[in-house]
Each structure stands twice: as C-alpha cells, then as structure tokens.
Structure 1
Amino acid sequence: MDTTLSSTVRGDGSRRRPGGPAPTRPTGRRDSRRPAATAAEPRAPRSGPHHWFAERLLAVLSGRRPVHSLLGHTVGPAYEQLVTLAPADPFRDRLRPVVRQCGRFTPGPGVIEAFARIATGDRVSAMAFRLEQGPDLRWRCAAVEIQGPRP
C-alpha cells in the first residue's frame, strides 16, 4: 500500500492527508468559533505621520526630548515656534502628559492639519499642527499651536 496517499489519524480522531493543509484550530477543538476577545486587549497601533509627530512634539514640549530632536522634521517658522514654546514648559508637570486622541484633516494633497488632545492628570490641553510633504516625500511640520490650561 502506498503510504503517501493514505490518510493519517490525529490525536483528536480527525483524518488528514500528508501534505494537505494544516488544521486551523487547536487539536481537540471541534467547534469553529473563535475565542472571545479579552477586555485587556491592546488598542490598535497608531499610524500615520500625524500620530508620530504628535508623540514627538509632546516629548519636546514636556521636556523629555530636546528641541533640536525635531530639527529635521520642521521647517523654519515652526522650529522657531518650538524654540520659544519649549522653555515655557507648557506640558511640564509632576504627571506625565499623554496623547489621548489625535485626528487630522487633509485640505489638499501633501498637507495634513492635525490636532492632538493631551491629558495631564485631570487637565486636558490641545495641540494643533500642520504637516507638509516635501519633494523628498518626507513630512515636516510647518506650524504649531497649543491651547488649554497650563500650569
């Protein structure tokens, strides 16, 4: 008898031909339902240049990163705005500020106008910034604005 064509019996009693597709469920499981999602499941990863820039901008404004870390990611006037905003420490506090929400509006090709809600304890502030895509297809910040309660 040719063993390559005969089916094999697995531990759960089902049969499978050698070289056939792998099972899609754990051994011994007979139903097709998927496990229920848990409450502690992590959020979807944030993506997009506006999320990336919001996190970096908050790190600079909270004093966790130096202003010059955004030098290649800003254009003239925006970098000057950061130089004047950073010493004022708008988000420096005992509690670490976090980006709670980040959204964007695309007024045209190569331009993103974004906002970020920043939570520091029970206080909420907002940042708005404009990203422009250069000829090298890299996104750079062209303007920054901060609103909300400050310490």
Structure 2
Amino acid sequence: MPPHELFAERLLAVLSGHRPVHWMLGQTVGEAYEQLVRLAPGTPLRARGARPVVRTCRGFQPCAGVVEASASIAAGEQVRALAFRLEQGADLRWRCAAVEIGGERIPAGA
C-alpha cells in the first residue's frame, strides 16, 4: 500500500474518534501532532450512524522524500476533504508533517 493511502486510513481513524490521538505519536513530525490534538476532540470526520471511509486518495511527489496527498472521506451522505503532507526521514520511515480538513488548516498555537 502506498504511504499516502496508509496514512489516509490512520488519520481517518484518529479524526473519526476510532483511535486516540496518541496513536499517531512517532508517526508525525513538526506541527502535525499538535494539529491532530486540536482537531480530534471535535471528531470532524464522524457522521451519525455511518462509519467514515476513504473514498479516494491521491498523492503527488513534488520532490524526493515528500508526498502531498488529498483524500475524499465519505460518511453516509457527507463527504469531506482531507489533505496532508508526508515526509520521509533518514530512517526511511514516512511521517505526517501537516493536516488539513475541508480547507480549514489549524494554525500553530491556536
């Protein structure tokens, strides 16, 4: 499975309330973990009665070791956009560096 598809599923699990935010420790760098801490309490990708699923996920590699991805998340009739950036470390592991939902990026320190 490509890294952006794997991370789309991981982020969805956290943002839908099915996994705790600390599940992403070690899988994030920079501000991404704090963004998840601020986003997760509102569980923005949860819908009543319907478990959200990744409908589509696309990745673009602007340079080596970086993937910018977008995913379409469906929960019942509700569809939301999820965008995120992955960076590959010196250990060759991919980590999430930024997260946005539906165009609403959570600024640092907010």
| TM-score (structure 2 length as normaliser) | 0.90
Name the CA distance, whole Å, in 2 between partners of 1:76 and 1:111. 14
What is the CA deviation profile of residues 86-121 of structure 1, one whole-angstrom value per residue up to 9, with x for unaligned ones? 001101222110000000110000000001100011
Aligned pair 1:65/2:26, yes or no? no
Unaligned runs of 5+ residues in structure 2 are: 104-110
Look at both structures and tell me which one has the larger radius of gyration over its CA atoms: 1
What is the CA deviation profile of residues 69-90 of structure 1, one whole-angstrom value per residue up to 9, with x for unaligned ones? 0111001300000000000110
Q: Please list, as runs of the form range in 1=range in 2, the aligned pairs for 1:101-116 lying within 5 A after superposition.
A: 101-116=56-71
From 112, 117, 130, the counterpart of 2:85: 130
Instruction: Give the match for residue 106 of structure 2.
Output: none
Aligned pair 1:141/2:92, yes or no? no
Q: Please list, as runs of the form range in 1=range in 2, the aligned pairs for 1:16-31 lying within 5 A after superposition.
A: none
**One-letter amino acid matched to 1:134:** G
Q: CA RMSD in A?
A: 1.0
Instruction: Give the match for residue 53 of structure 1.
Output: 7
Identity rate, percent: 70
Unaligned runs of 5+ residues in structure 1 are: 1-46
Instruction: Give the match for residue 80 of structure 1.
Output: 34
Segments of 4+ moved more than 3 angstroms = none
**One-letter amino acid matched to 1:114:** A
